[in-house]
Amino acid sequence: MSLGEFDLIAKYFDRPARRAALGIGDDCALLAVPPGMQLATSCDMLVEGRHFLSTVAPERLGHKALAVNLSDLAACGAEPLAFTLALALPHADEIFLDGFSRGLLALADVHGCELIGGDTTRGPLNICISVFGLVPVAGAGALLRSGAQVGDDLYVSGVLGDARLALEVVRGTRSLADGDFDAVLRALEKPQPRVALGVALRGVASSAIDVSDGLLGDLHHVLQRSGVDAVVEVDALPCSVVLRAQPLTVQRLCSLTGGDDYELLFTAPPQHAQQVAAAGIASGVALTRIGRIVGRSGAASAAAGVAQTTLVDHDGRAVVHADASFDHFRT
């Protein structure tokens, strides 16, 4: 192999530090945090065959690896600052590295998020990114999962379910015309983290999470931490025209439990409805009200402390759907 570890870093990843006090090349990177701000951090590990298909273009993989992390910052309302990349590769494949680094750094540049360090090693393909953002300590601070209140409206950004529909086509359980498949594959492989929306929702939303494991599963995290229940109007769930053309059972499977959407799911009090709409317009993202937060129902669930989501159709009738959110150790 001609390309060594330090050459690899220098060729594909090392760029001069701009926002960081100290970037790549020392034992640690250094980040200054301005007064009144705190650091938000998250990390995601992506494994071949589990988080991405072996057929994915390296450029899209680079994009997605950072996008899923930026989506976590968005869910907190944090402004991206920097990230580190740890990368295990079976061998120093320059075609892969060229595409991967281009996709990664292009998205980083869009969000002013700087690569400040990391690690490279030989091993089964594994991508682990840690991302750093800034969020005010007080006032309109970080969006948390724990803030949903009874009476709040429940919203989601963009459309749901296209990524899962793409996966079903790849698995051979559904088929689509080429153009439609390209569109949903793009949703799977090149998600757009809702960073500007997250920042705009600070002080407006009462809670937020990004939809990575499926709407119902991620909503459950919010309800569980907030101690509330929810009613979701399944007919209100925003879907693309491609997904809308699928049978209703497929639409619901994909939009309710699909995962890999990287949209923001958030709550806000009804009196913030206009500010919510303004945040959507300012960030150029469609927002849809999909339900509301209600008090903990039923003695049984309250005793067990388990949050409940009730699904209803446009006439308010209960809809039955098996919750099957994604769990990496159960599927």
Pairwise CA distance, residues 256 & 309, whole Å = 11
Residue 149 backbone dihedrals phi, psi, to 5 degrees: -120, 150
CB nearer its own copies, residue 123 or residue 270: 123
Residues 6 or more apart in contact with residue 57 via CB below 8 angstroms:
99, 103, 189
CB of 251 to its own copies, least distance (A): 27
Tokens for 40, please give them. 């938000």
Residue 260 backbone dihedrals phi, psi, to 5 degrees: 60, 25
CB of 246 to its own copies, least distance (A): 28
CB of 319 to its own copies, least distance (A): 25
CB of 182 to its own copies, least distance (A): 28
DSSP letters along 208-272, please? EEE-SS-HHHHHHHHHHHHT-EEEEEGGGS---HHHHTS-HHHHHHHHHH------EEEEE-GGG
CB nearer its own copies, residue 30 or residue 281: 30
CB nearer its own copies, residue 184 or residue 201: 201
Tell me the HSE value of 245 on the side-chain side, using a 13 A CA sphere.
Answer: 11
CB nearer its own copies, residue 10 or residue 281: 10
Binding site for its own copies (CB under 8 A): 1, 3-6, 8, 21-22, 25-33, 35, 38-45, 47-48, 50-51, 72-73, 75-76, 78, 84, 86-89, 91-92, 116-124, 126, 128, 130, 132-133, 135, 137, 142, 144-146, 208-210, 225, 327-330
CB nearer its own copies, residue 133 or residue 234: 133
Pairwise CA distance, residues 149 & 270, whole Å = 11
- Residue closest to 112 by CA, chosen among 19, 35, 22: 19
CB of 224 to its own copies, least distance (A): 10
Tokens for 170, please give them. 């790849």
Strands 264-268 vs 126-136: parallel, antiparallel or unpaired:
unpaired
CB of 10 to its own copies, least distance (A): 12
CB nearer its own copies, residue 283 or residue 325: 325
CB nearer its own copies, residue 121 or residue 301: 121
CB nearer its own copies, residue 6 or residue 244: 6
Pairwise CA distance, residues 60 & 52, whole Å = 10
CB of 243 to its own copies, least distance (A): 25
For the chain, the first-to-last Cα distance in angstroms comes to 37
